[in-house]
Amino acid sequence: MQRTVCCLLVLLLPFLCPLLPITSHAGEQGLTVGYGFAELNSHVAGGEVEGGKNYDFFQVTYIYEIPHWKKVSFVVEPFAACINRPESGVDGGLDLHFRWYPLNQERSGLFVNLGAGVSYTSIAFQEQGTHFLGVLLGGIGYRYERFFIEDRFRHYSNGHSAYPNRSVNADIVSVGMYF
């Protein structure tokens, strides 16, 4: 049942997000697909969360990038993920971040992301005491015309709203396209 809901969310996200009301029309819209896996979690090997369980997922995001300064954009990203392991499940949430293009003012070439967001996960991580989590993210990527590739580090935490509060960290590699 969860896998069906997950696949439905991932398939519908690209069609539902453009319907969201957006006040500014100066930005660009896009979609990404990515693969994520556990990384830099305490006391376990790469690819694992607490208890030595593997953690990986596929993620789809809708991007709305709004130019803010010469080399900086503000990015709004609703996302949905289909979790493969440690058990089948879904994640959904919203990230808000700044994207900096250090070498070019035309929003192309190398970029760096830094931001935060919120998420709901159906997985009962033993590191977290809740399904509602805060997100911190940072990443680096490269954009060529309408296409880009990105590597992003994501940190899930409950912000001391529940016990325990140990992070769940992941690396996400994604490719995307603006339309």
Give the largest Cα separation in the chain, rounded: 47
What is residue 23's predicted lDDT score, i.e. its pLDDT?
46
Number of domains in the chain: 1
Q: For residue 80, with 0-12 CB atoms within 10 Å meaning exposed, 13-18 middle and 19 or more buried, which class applies?
A: buried
**Residue 25 falls inside a structural domain:** no
Residue with tokens 């309408």: 146
**pTM for the complete prediction?**
0.83
What is residue 24's predicted lDDT score, i.e. its pLDDT?
45
The type of residue at 47 is G
Interatomic CA distance for residues 173 and 141, integer angstroms: 10
Tokens of 47: 């690819």
Mean pLDDT, contiguous 10-residue spans, the chain (179 residues): 54 52 68 96 85 93 93 96 94 97 90 97 87 96 97 93 87 97
Q: Which domain holds residue 78?
A: 2-20+30-178
**Residue 160 falls inside a structural domain:** yes
What is residue 22's predicted lDDT score, i.e. its pLDDT?
47
What is residue 21's predicted lDDT score, i.e. its pLDDT?
46
**Residue 107 falls inside a structural domain:** yes
Give the Å distances, CA to CA, from 101 to 41, 63, 69, 78, 108. 29, 16, 10, 22, 7
Interatomic CA distance for residues 31 and 29, integer angstroms: 7
What is residue 125's predicted lDDT score, i.e. its pLDDT?
84
**What CATH number did the domain enclosing 104 receive?**
2.40.160.20
DSSP strand pairing (147-157 vs 72-85): unpaired
The type of residue at 78 is P
What is residue 94's predicted lDDT score, i.e. its pLDDT?
97
Q: Look at residues 93, 154, 98 and name the one whose alpha carbon lies nearest to residue 122.
A: 93
**Residue 36 falls inside a structural domain:** yes
Q: Look at residues 118, 151, 160 and name the one whose alpha carbon lies nearest to residue 135.
A: 118
